[in-house]
Chain A
Amino acid sequence: MIEYVDLVRVLRGRNLLRLEWVRRQVSAALGPDPDVEDLCTALAEAGQVADAVLVDPRFGRWCSRMISLIDRRAPELLPHGTFTASCAEASTFAAAARILSGSSMGTRVRLGPMLTTALPGPGKEIKTARTRAGSRVLVKRASAKDCELRDEHRPLPGLTVPTGQELDLLACEDNPLLVVAPVTVVLEVGTRELGTRSEAGMAVVPSSASRGARTAHVLAAAAHLAFFADSTPVGGWGQLTHRVAPPPEIADICEPGQLTRLLALRASLEQLDAEAAGSLDLVLSKVASWLGSDQLTETGNDVARWLSGAGWPVPLLSPAPEPVERRQDPWLSDWTGAGGQGCGPRPQATHLPPVDQVCADVLAELGSEGAIEINVLGDERLRADPTFDHLSLMSARNQPAFLGLVRRLGQAVDSPATRLLTGHCAYILGRFEEALALYDDLLLEYPHDADLWRDAAFALRHLDAYALCDTWLFHSGEVLRRATSTVPDPAVAVALVAGRPTAAGASSYAGAILEGVRRDFDPR
Chain B
Amino acid sequence: MISILGDRPPAPLLGLELSDVLRRYLEIRPEHGQPICFVALVEGLKPVMDDWVPRSQLEAYTQMCEDAGLYVSMNAQFRAIDGDETAQRVVGRGTLTTTRAYAHSVSAEVPDASVHVFAGADRVAVERTRAAGWYPLVIGGRATSKPWIDHLWFGEGLGYPACCTEAFAMHNNWSVNNMPYQAWRATKRASMLCNSLMRFTGLTWAAHLPCRYDCETTATAAAATRSAMQRHSPGIAEYVDEIASRPYLVCNEWEAFALNGRVVEPGVLSYDGVTLTPTNHPNLALFEALSSGSRLEIRDDLVLVLDGDKVTWVEQCDASGFAPRIPFILDFSKAGRSG
**Interface of A toward B, CB cutoff 8 Å:** 65, 68-69, 72-74, 77-78, 80-85, 88, 113, 129-131, 133-135, 380-383, 388-389, 392-393, 395-397, 424, 427-428, 454-455, 458, 461-462, 464, 466, 470, 473-474, 476-477, 522, 524
In the complex, what distance in Å separates the CA atom of A95 from the CA atom of B314?
24
| A464 contacts across to B, CB distance below 8 A | 127, 131
User: How far apart are B55's CB and chain A's nearest CB, in angstroms?
Assistant: 15
| B140 contacts across to A, CB distance below 8 A | 476-477
Q: Is B324 an interface residue (CB 8 A)?
A: yes
Binds A, one of B13-21, B170-178, B284-292: B170-178
User: How far apart are B229's CB and chain A's nearest CB, in angstroms?
Assistant: 32
Q: Is B144 an interface residue (CB 8 A)?
A: yes
Q: Looking across the interface, which residue of chain A has its beta carbon closest to that of B251?
A: A81
**Interface of B toward A, CB cutoff 8 Å:** 76, 91-92, 95, 103, 105, 107, 127, 130-132, 134, 139-140, 142-150, 152, 165-166, 169-170, 176-178, 181-182, 299-302, 304, 306, 309-311, 314, 316-320, 324-328
| B148 contacts across to A, CB distance below 8 A | 388-389, 392-393
| A382 contacts across to B, CB distance below 8 A | 91-92, 95, 142-143, 145
User: How far apart are B255's CB and chain A's nearest CB, in angstroms?
Assistant: 13
In the complex, what distance in Å separates the CA atom of A461 from the CA atom of B304?
50
- Docked-complex contact B127 and A522, CB < 8 angstroms: no
Q: Looking across the interface, which residue of chain A has its beta carbon closest to that of B133?
A: A461
| B310 contacts across to A, CB distance below 8 A | 131
User: How far apart are A379's CB and chain B's nearest CB, in angstroms?
Assistant: 9
User: How far apart are A63's CB and chain B's nearest CB, in angstroms?
Assistant: 14
- Docked-complex contact A81 and B327, CB < 8 angstroms: yes
User: How far apart are A455's CB and chain B's nearest CB, in angstroms?
Assistant: 7
| A113 contacts across to B, CB distance below 8 A | 302, 314, 316
- Docked-complex contact B177 and A462, CB < 8 angstroms: no
| B142 contacts across to A, CB distance below 8 A | 382
- Docked-complex contact A72 and B320, CB < 8 angstroms: yes
| B311 contacts across to A, CB distance below 8 A | 129-131, 133
| B317 contacts across to A, CB distance below 8 A | 81-82
- Docked-complex contact B304 and A134, CB < 8 angstroms: yes
- Docked-complex contact B314 and A85, CB < 8 angstroms: no
| A129 contacts across to B, CB distance below 8 A | 311
A-B contact pairs, 17 of them (CB 8 A): A72-B320, A73-B176, A74-B320, A78-B324, A82-B317, A133-B299, A133-B311, A134-B299, A382-B92, A382-B145, A389-B148, A392-B147, A396-B169, A455-B147, A458-B134, A462-B131, A522-B105
Q: A68-B320, A130-B311, A474-B139 are in contact. Are A80 and B326 (CB under 8 A)?
A: yes
Q: Looking across the interface, which residue of chain A has its beta carbon closest to that of B306?
A: A131
- Docked-complex contact B147 and A427, CB < 8 angstroms: yes
13 further A-B pairs in the complex, CB-CB below 8 A; given A133-B314, A464-B127: A77-B182, A78-B326, A80-B300, A80-B328, A84-B301, A85-B300, A130-B314, A131-B304, A389-B147, A466-B131, A473-B76, A473-B134, A524-B107
In the complex, what distance in Å separates the CA atom of A65 from the CA atom of B301?
15
Q: Most chain-B Cβ atoms within 10 A of its Cβ — which of A74, A81, A129, A454?
A: A81
Q: Looking across the interface, which residue of chain B has its beta carbon closest to that of A377?
A: B142
- Docked-complex contact A380 and B91, CB < 8 angstroms: yes
| B318 contacts across to A, CB distance below 8 A | 82
Q: A72-B176, A133-B299, A470-B105 are in contact. Are A81 and B325 (CB under 8 A)?
A: yes
| B95 contacts across to A, CB distance below 8 A | 382
| A393 contacts across to B, CB distance below 8 A | 148, 169
- Docked-complex contact B152 and A396, CB < 8 angstroms: yes
Q: Looking across the interface, which residue of chain A has its beta carbon closest to that of B315?
A: A113
In the complex, what distance in Å separates the CA atom of A462 from the CA atom of B154?
12
Q: Looking across the interface, which residue of chain B has its beta carbon closest to that of A131?
A: B311
| A80 contacts across to B, CB distance below 8 A | 181, 300, 326, 328
- Docked-complex contact B320 and A82, CB < 8 angstroms: yes
Q: Looking across the interface, which residue of chain A has its beta carbon closest to that of B175?
A: A72
User: How far apart are A81's CB and chain B's nearest CB, in angstroms?
Assistant: 4
User: How far apart are A404's CB and chain B's nearest CB, in angstroms?
Assistant: 18
In the complex, what distance in Å separates the CA atom of A428 from the CA atom of B132?
12
User: How far apart are A419's CB and chain B's nearest CB, in angstroms?
Assistant: 17
- Docked-complex contact B302 and A82, CB < 8 angstroms: no
| B177 contacts across to A, CB distance below 8 A | 77-78
- Docked-complex contact A392 and B149, CB < 8 angstroms: yes
CB < 8 Å neighbour of A396 from B92, B149, B299? B149
Q: Looking across the interface, which residue of chain A has its beta carbon closest to that of B311?
A: A130
In the complex, what distance in Å separates the CA atom of A83 from the CA atom of B300?
8
| B134 contacts across to A, CB distance below 8 A | 458, 461, 473
Q: A131-B311, A382-B95, A524-B107 are in contact. Are A82 and B319 (CB under 8 A)?
A: yes
In the complex, what distance in Å separates the CA atom of A113 from the CA atom of B326?
15
User: How far apart are B313's CB and chain A's nearest CB, in angstroms?
Assistant: 9
